[in-house]
């Protein structure tokens, strides 16, 4: 729901049903609303059954990559004699995304429950929730929720009286974007510098503390609670009839030049046009949408036409030149200097590059310098070609995708909005040279 707004009638409230409901924050309030029924049920099931239900539900990772959750869980081999770990990625560092924050603020116990279920399903006794350093309120709520859950015997060596062991620990990040990358997150949890690791080995083989590890997004884990109670079939009812690959509901965080920014939960496949104009109230008075980034700053920028044609699911966005990503919708209207916005995005990536891979360390900074020069009126036409070539060098050649993410808005911006760049170059500043230098 578009908290702090009241929910729109066309929203589908599953995960966000209790956003804004203060009573739901506490253990008592959460239990009153059906909380921990899913964990109670899960702990009395075989882990493999849970994995199968999640597989059947079609749930895919809500952090950005959209990998099928049940399949990811099935990579964890039970009985391999090694300790397994669950990591919950609550770093939510993708600019434009703030859905996980609301989940943790209003329903922290839902995340504790989701973590416990997932940990049990993958054969882990320990789950770590890695929370972004800036999320102080979410951190406090999660810590309080864990404390309550331990005190109530929900977590611990005898979780909910079933004899099963489930621990959930909350860890505070220190504010690095890259620590939202799963292997960097693990390094950070281990106390190392948050640098992404080379894959393979994949986390399911060698992850946290070199043990088999699964890492899931907050929204993904919370969705599991509902799937276990209401069933895989129920979850599959959400989504386009002609696209069974995207199921369930999705939270979208909306920000930028739009009438009603906030979080909205809709069924997969919801028309993006209706979403923007109906749910979010359309553009600000007297303005028009110009460009829309639907899934966090890392995904390609859409033109207004592309956006208005997109069904809001994984495949719908791909068919319209972008990706669903994390669901962080950034709206840019015709009053903005788009190049400046792209330069700002590049500056962010240049600041956050972990500095391991050459193309990322140098390329993000170089891209930023060129873009800022263009914005300042010192760009040339050659700069545009150079930007495209740097972007090509930064794509698909590094350990993680931070480098690719920096190139994405540049390439999509230059391809779809080249006129904006050229206008700035044509308006190039004339540097006054004194007539007599000597």
Partner 1 sequence: MTDVAMVNLTIEGRAVRVPSGTSILEAAKVAGVLVPHYCYHPGLPVAGVCRMCLVEVEKAPKLAPSCATTVAEGQVVHVHSPKSLEARKGVLEMLLINHPLDCPICDQAGECELQDYTYQEGRAEGRYRDPKRFNPVEDFGGDVMYVANRCILCTRCVRFMDDIAHDPVLAVAERGDRALIAKFDGEDLTHAWAGNVIDLCPVGALLSKDSLNKARAWELDRSASVCPHCSQGCNMIVETRDNQVIRLRPRPNDAVNKFFMCDHGRLNYRWMNRQDRVDSPLVRQHDVLAKADWEVALRVAGQLLGGKRAFVLASPNLSNEALFLLGKLVAKTGGSGAFRVVQGAEAPLPGVEDLALRADRAANVRGAELAGFVRSESPLSGMQGGEVLVVADEELAGVDATDVAKAGAIIVIGTTLPAWARHAATVVLPIANTVEEDGTFTNLRGRVQRFLQAKAAPGLARPSFLAIGDLLAEIGEGSGYWTASQTFDALAASHAEFAGLSYDALGLKGAPLAGAMAGASA
Residues near partner 1 (CB under 8 A): 176, 178, 193, 198, 350-359, 361-366, 369-370, 373, 382, 386, 389-390, 392-393, 396-399
We find the least distance from the C-beta atom of residue 102 to partner 1, in angstroms, to be 29
* Exposure of 362 in the CB half-sphere (CA atoms within 13 A): 5
We find the least distance from the C-beta atom of residue 176 to partner 1, in angstroms, to be 8
Task: Tell me if residue 393 falls in helix, strand or coil.
Answer: helix
Whether the bond into 4 is cis, omega within 30 of 0: yes
We find the least distance from the C-beta atom of residue 181 to partner 1, in angstroms, to be 13
Of 261 and 379, CB closest to partner 1: 379
Of 26 and 393, CB closest to partner 1: 393
In contact, 192 and 34? CB cutoff 8 Å: no
Of 145 and 407, CB closest to partner 1: 407
Of 107 and 195, CB closest to partner 1: 195
Q: Which of 283, 325, 284 is nearest to 304 (CA)?
A: 283
Two structure tokens written together for 198: 């080379």
We find the least distance from the C-beta atom of residue 366 to partner 1, in angstroms, to be 6
Instruction: For residues 124 and 118, give the distance between their C-alpha atoms in angstroms, rounded to a whole number.
Output: 8
Long-range contacts of 377-380 (CB under 8 A, 24+ apart): 377/424, 377/427, 377/428, 377/429, 378/428, 378/429, 379/421, 379/424, 379/425, 379/428, 380/425, 380/428
Task: Tell me if residue 186 falls in helix, strand or coil.
Answer: helix
Of 319 and 355, CB closest to partner 1: 355
* Pairing verdict, β 262-267 and 249-256: antiparallel
* Pairing verdict, β 249-256 and 328-333: parallel
DSSP output for 268-316 = TTEEHHHIIIIIS--SPTT--EEEEE-SSTTSPPEEHHHHHT-EESHHH
Of 326 and 353, CB closest to partner 1: 353
We find the least distance from the C-beta atom of residue 374 to partner 1, in angstroms, to be 12
Of 27 and 390, CB closest to partner 1: 390
Of 147 and 193, CB closest to partner 1: 193
Instruction: For residues 305 and 308, give the distance between their C-alpha atoms in angstroms, rounded to a whole number.
Output: 5
We find the least distance from the C-beta atom of residue 187 to partner 1, in angstroms, to be 13
We find the least distance from the C-beta atom of residue 435 to partner 1, in angstroms, to be 26
We find the least distance from the C-beta atom of residue 335 to partner 1, in angstroms, to be 29
């Amino acid at each position: 729901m578009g908290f702090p707004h009241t929910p729109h009638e066309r929203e589908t409230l599953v995960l966000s049903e209790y956003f804004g409901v203060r009573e739901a924050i506490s253990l008592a309030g959460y239990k009153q609303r059906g909380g921990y029924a899913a964990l109670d049920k899960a702990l009395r099931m075989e882990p493999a059954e849970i994995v199968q239900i999640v597989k059947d539900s079609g749930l895919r990772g809500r952090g950005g990559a959209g990998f099928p959750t049940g399949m990811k869980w099935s990579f964890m081999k039970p009985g391999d004699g090694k300790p397994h770990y669950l990591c919950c990625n609550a770093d939510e560092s993708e600019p434009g995304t703030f859905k996980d924050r609301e989940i943790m603020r209003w329903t922290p116990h839902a995340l504790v429950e989701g973590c416990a279920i997932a940990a049990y399903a993958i054969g882990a006794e320990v789950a770590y929730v890695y929370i972004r350093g800036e999320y102080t309120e979410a951190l406090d709520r999660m810590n309080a929720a864990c404390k309550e859950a331990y005190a109530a015997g929900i977590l611990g060596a005898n979780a909910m009286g079933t004899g099963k062991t489930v621990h959930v620990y909350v860890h505070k990040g220190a504010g690095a974007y890259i620590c939202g990358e799963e292997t960097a997150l693990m390094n950070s949890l281990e106390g190392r510098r948050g640098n992404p690791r080379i894959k393979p080995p994949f986390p399911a083989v060698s992850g946290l503390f070199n043990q088999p590890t699964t890492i899931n997004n907050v929204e993904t884990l919370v969705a599991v609670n509902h799937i276990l109670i209401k069933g895989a079939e129920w979850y599959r009812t959400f989504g386009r009839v002609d696209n069974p690959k995207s199921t369930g509901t999705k939270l979208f965080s909306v920000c930028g030049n739009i009438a009603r920014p906030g979080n909205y939960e809709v069924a997969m496949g919801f028309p993006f046009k209706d979403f923007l104009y109906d749910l979010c109230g359309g553009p600000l008075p007297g303005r028009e949408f110009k460009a829309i980034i639907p899934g966090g700053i890392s995904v390609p920028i859409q033109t207004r036409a592309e956006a208005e044609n997109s069904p809001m699911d994984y495949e719908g966005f791909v068919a319209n030149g972008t990706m669903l990503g994390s669901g962080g919708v950034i709206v840019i209207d015709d009053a903005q200097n788009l190049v400046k916005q792209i330069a700002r995005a590049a500056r962010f990536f240049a600041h956050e590059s972990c500095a391991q891979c050459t193309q990322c360390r140098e390329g993000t900074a170089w891209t930023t310098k060129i873009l800022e020069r263009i914005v300042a009126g010192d760009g040339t036409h050659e700069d545009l070609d150079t930007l495209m070539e740097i972007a090509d060098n930064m794509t698909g050649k590094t350990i993680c995708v931070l480098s690719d993410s920096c190139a994405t808005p540049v390439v999509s911006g230059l391809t779809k909005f080249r006129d904006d760049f050229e206008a700035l170059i044509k308006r190039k500043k004339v540097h006054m040279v004194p007539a007599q230098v000597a």
